[in-house]
Structure 1
Amino acid sequence: KKSLPPHSPLLAGTPSAMVDRSDPVAFTTPESPKGVGIHGMEVYFPRFAVKQSELEKFMGASEGKFTIGLGQQNMAFVNDLEDINSVCMTAVANLLEKYNVAPTDIGRLEVGTETLIDKSKSVKTTLVQLLNEHGNFDIEGVDNINACYGGTAALLNTMAWVESSAWDGRYAVVVCGDIAVYEEGPARPTGGCAAVAMLIGRDAPIVLQTVRSSHFEDAYDFYKPNLSSEYPTVFGQESNVCYLRALDGCYRRFAEKWEAVSRKRLTMDEWNHVVLHSPYNKLVKKSGARMVYNDFIRDHGLPMFKKQEKELQKFLHLMPEETYDDRELEKAFTELARPMYKDKVEPSVLLPQELGNSYTASMYTGLLSLIHNWHKPKAGAQVDTEAASIGKKVLMFSYGSGLAATMYSLKIMGPTGHIAAAANLEERLEERKFLSPQEFTSVLADRETKYGKFDWTPSGDTSNLFPGTYYLKQVDSHGRRSYARVPVSPFRRTINYGPGALHSRPSVAGARNFSTSVGARALQAAAPVAARAARFAVRAL
């Protein structure tokens, strides 16, 4: 019989193998002692989308290959009017405006993306125009880059800032977003586009718990070595194995740390929900099954395995690398995990299935989908939207190729109905404009011709953009980009967020023009902002 090596990601966290309980533990409580977490969320997705069922026919694939085989429904995409700067700018502006948070009340703005349009100038330095025009120049944070993981790096960095002695009392904003496109071929249906902006602070309704684990390796599963193209080099099967191996490692280490604090066995039963990074839904289903398999390896005596105990015994002594392409094992645990997937994972898949893979934003579109699902009216049920989610625990798994992965958990400590109301997902999804696969292909071909080029003006029609969308006006002869905004709808939902929120609403009347320069008006306003920050700092002590 084969035994697991000591370094195996699947090694069971038995009581004797757990962290020594005589050692001091860095985390004495499962929640952040200052309630650091997410106050609000906003997602931006483009108006254009293509149906995966139509893309199947256009690409000559068998019926169901993309809709069942990949588990995807639709895919979002942008034309030449939008780039990563404009996409993230729209998400951040909408977040501040919907939650009535003044730009002067933001002390940190951090970005996660892998969509590069400049090898030096960060996306963050374009986004700060939204704050500079109100006199706010004192904003920490910059871009984080590692495939799909950058958004999580930005979030954890920002959470640490809010919890630290350096925090000056102001809110922070994390924005993660990407435009995922692939060259013609089998990977093209796994593209997508979205950006998620999050409002971070103390005493939040969605609190980051202190236990987390990570798994990092040197891998070439997905990377972008050709700097003249936005298309990646992808080894699909290898990337799937890397994802699952990172999941194994994170879950094992997370369980060991969590058990050292809680003094009880951790299984999937601990979580109300699980949100997984979603390149495509089929991999999410496999990952849910993989976590059940991890529970089996760690403790095959659990009640859920009793009925199939004899059939499952043969999987106990496989080496980890033997299990990743074992179809029999995958089938057995996918079937076993079916109820868990439906109850814990499926409520988070709406946006990932509708928008496609948004890379750094992918997991966070899943979290927002989950919040939407909590507050969505159910047939024949009375839902208290202010209390429906309180007390729930959510396990999060973030993965980025190359590779980087982290597992952490969130606990819902307060109402989240305001987040669902502000996001207004169903209505916004209904307002998308579906283009044909031929038009989608033409848009991507046009992007290819303009990628990395200077001195051009977009040819797209701004009337096809959602209200409030920022768009690219021009790329000049030196590669400098300027932006403008479609007027905001006067009927858009806003909320008066919480007793601790600062309700100074920025102007949203008409279109606003932005470039890389900052006007004298903003410079004159800088002194009052410094005074405001000082007042915040005193309050934070």
Structure 2
Amino acid sequence: MTSIGIHDLSVATAHYVVDLTELAEAAGVPPQKYLTGLGQEAMSFPAPDEDIVTMGAAAALPILERHGTERIRTVLFATESGIDQSKAAGVFVHKLLGLPSGVRVVELKQACYSGTAALQMAAGIVARDPREQVLLIMSDVARYQLDTPGEPTQGAAAAAMLVSADPALLELEPTTGIHTADVNDFWRPNDSTTAMVDGGLSLRAYLASLMGAWDDFHARGGAGFHTIERFVYHQPFTKMAQKAHARLSQHTSHAVSPNALKGSLDYNRLLGNSYTASLYVGLAAMLDNSDDLAGRRVGLFSYGSGSVGEFFTGIVQPDYAQHRRREATLAALEARRPLDIEGYRALHSAHTESSQDRETPRVTSGPFRFSGIQGQARQYEAN
């Protein structure tokens, strides 16, 4: 049987960064509430000429530079920060990246889970014709109202991956566990630029989804807990991954391994929540910061509020270390410009999803920018 999985993985983020110690002090709360309680140190924040398209294209560009476009027949764009109710964000990316016309493009939505739905779809496409590759992009801006409990869990990032036969990074194993339940823990109405969230309910729904997905995975003959060397979890904040692994360990009657999450929290702690990209930013961090994973099994849990969860596993490939992008990701994190609290609040308050014609100021130093709206249609350009 042909192996299928993640052949390449790339991460991009936004122009600005907000220090959570400064945010805590401005809010009049102890910084440790964010640093320790949430496990977050900073959050990326987009410039006025950035959005899910510019970040998604920036994440995908290095993949195309390394592998070319000849075998890509599908682009899947997963997001819960959609910019249009009809046109897929990936169509804008298709043009920015100069992809050929013989490529299908579609957008997927189910809160933070849809990136994993796209990955499973991509695996099916490649299984049908192993000559094809799928470009998968997950890009989001997590935005909550100012002065609310969700504010310190904002963030912005994109992850792009190439799904192919004979993957260089991670071979997907076929068994998955799935759990779906109608829960109003988190949603964003069409007339709102910020999400609604019931924090306590969302925590309980996440853990219930994890237990349900694991039980389904186990019932379908998935790998035993003791055979999984590392775990990566969806991270609305990094402390959530630690809580999740402790609960799953208890659920399966295993001790919590101190190395189970090693490396996987490093990038999300500095980026904040990136919704659909969060799990795969965590995977990139684990691969980038561990040199001993070749041949090891990794367990991944994807959660999207509302809610859908999925647990699945993959085998890290022998030469994965030669294909990592650690230096590029660290450079992107370092390149962000610090944004003081006054500037952050002003940008947050000025955000609009209006379709009125306008030009955006040139701010981002990234490879692509949102240049404005003409004739009520969004415009993008290379920077």
- For Structure 1 versus Structure 2, the TM-score category normalised by the shorter chain is over 0.9
The equivalent of 1:274 in structure 2 is 231
Secondary structure at 1:350's aligned position in 2?
Answer: coil
Q: Which amino acid aligns with 1:192?
A: G
Structure 2: segments with no counterpart, 5+ residues: none
User: In structure 2, which of residues 264, 270, 288 is the aligned counterpart of residue 354 of structure 1?
Assistant: 270
The CA RMSD over aligned residues, in Å, is: 1.7
The verdict on how the C-alpha distance between 1:128 and 1:430 changes in structure 2, with shifts beyond 3 A counting, is: closer
TM-fit CA distance, 1:418: 2.9
Preserved CA contact (<8 Å) 2:186 2:306: yes
Q: Partners in 1 of 2:204 and 2:210 — Cα distance?
A: 10
The equivalent of 1:481 in structure 2 is 378
User: In structure 1, which of residues 382, 407, 413 is the aligned counterpart of residue 317 of structure 2?
Assistant: 413
Secondary structure at 2:289's aligned position in 1?
Answer: helix
User: In structure 1, which of residues 140, 144, 150 is the aligned counterpart of residue 108 of structure 2?
Assistant: 144
Preserved CA contact (<8 Å) 2:136 2:162: yes
1:147-296 maps to which residues of 2 (within 5 A)? 147-164=111-128, 167=129, 169-184=131-146, 185-205=148-168, 206-225=170-189, 227-258=190-221, 266-267=224-225, 269-296=226-253
TM-fit CA distance, 1:416: 1.2
TM-fit CA distance, 1:253: 1.6
The equivalent of 1:41 in structure 2 is 9
The verdict on how the C-alpha distance between 1:287 and 1:422 changes in structure 2, with shifts beyond 3 A counting, is: closer
> Residues 251-281 of structure 1, C-alpha deviation per residue, up to 9 Å, x if partnerless?
112122236xx7xxx23x3111000000011
TM-fit CA distance, 1:481: 1.5
Q: Which amino acid aligns with 2:68?
A: A
Preserved CA contact (<8 Å) 1:93 1:130: no
Q: Partners in 1 of 2:336 and 2:250 — Cα distance?
A: 39
Q: Partners in 2 of 1:215 and 1:88 — Cα distance?
A: 28
Q: Partners in 2 of 1:228 and 1:364 — Cα distance?
A: 29
The equivalent of 1:344 in structure 2 is 260
Single out whichever of 236-245 and 346-355 deviates more from structure 2.
346-355
TM-fit CA distance, 1:422: 6.4
Q: Partners in 2 of 1:395 and 1:401 — Cα distance?
A: 20
Q: Which amino acid aligns with 2:195?
A: P
> Residues 201-232 of structure 1, C-alpha deviation per residue, up to 9 Å, x if partnerless?
1011310001111000111110012x232201
> Residues 381-433 of structure 1, C-alpha deviation per residue, up to 9 Å, x if partnerless?
xxxxxxx4321110000000111111000101331123324653333322222
1:380-529 maps to which residues of 2 (within 5 A)? 388-421=292-325, 424-447=328-351, 450-462=352-364, 465-466=365-366, 469-476=367-374, 478-486=375-383
> Residues 75-127 of structure 1, C-alpha deviation per residue, up to 9 Å, x if partnerless?
00102111212221221223211x1x222331111111011111111112212
Q: Does 1:53 align with 2:21?
A: yes
TM-fit CA distance, 1:459: 2.3
Secondary structure at 2:319's aligned position in 1?
Answer: coil
Give the greater-gyration-radius structure (CA): 1
TM-fit CA distance, 1:130: 4.1
Number of aligned residue pairs: 381
Q: Does 1:123 align with 2:27?
A: no
Bigger proportion of residues as helix: 1
The equivalent of 1:72 in structure 2 is 40
Q: Partners in 2 of 1:138 and 1:280 — Cα distance?
A: 39
TM-score, scaled relative to structure 2: 0.95
The equivalent of 1:322 in structure 2 is none
Secondary structure at 1:219's aligned position in 2?
Answer: coil
The verdict on how the C-alpha distance between 1:216 and 1:406 changes in structure 2, with shifts beyond 3 A counting, is: same
Q: Partners in 2 of 1:416 and 1:452 — Cα distance?
A: 44
Q: Which amino acid aligns with 2:229?
A: N
Q: Partners in 2 of 1:440 and 1:114 — Cα distance?
A: 22
Q: Partners in 2 of 1:117 and 1:108 — Cα distance?
A: 20
Q: Does 1:102 align with 2:18?
A: no
User: Percent identity between the aligned chains?
Assistant: 27
Secondary structure at 2:57's aligned position in 1?
Answer: helix
Off by >4 Å, runs of 4+ in structure 1: none
Single out whichever of 80-89 and 153-162 deviates more from structure 2.
80-89
Q: Partners in 2 of 1:423 and 1:143 — Cα distance?
A: 30
Bigger proportion of residues as strand: 2
Secondary structure at 1:138's aligned position in 2?
Answer: coil
TM-fit CA distance, 1:168: 6.5
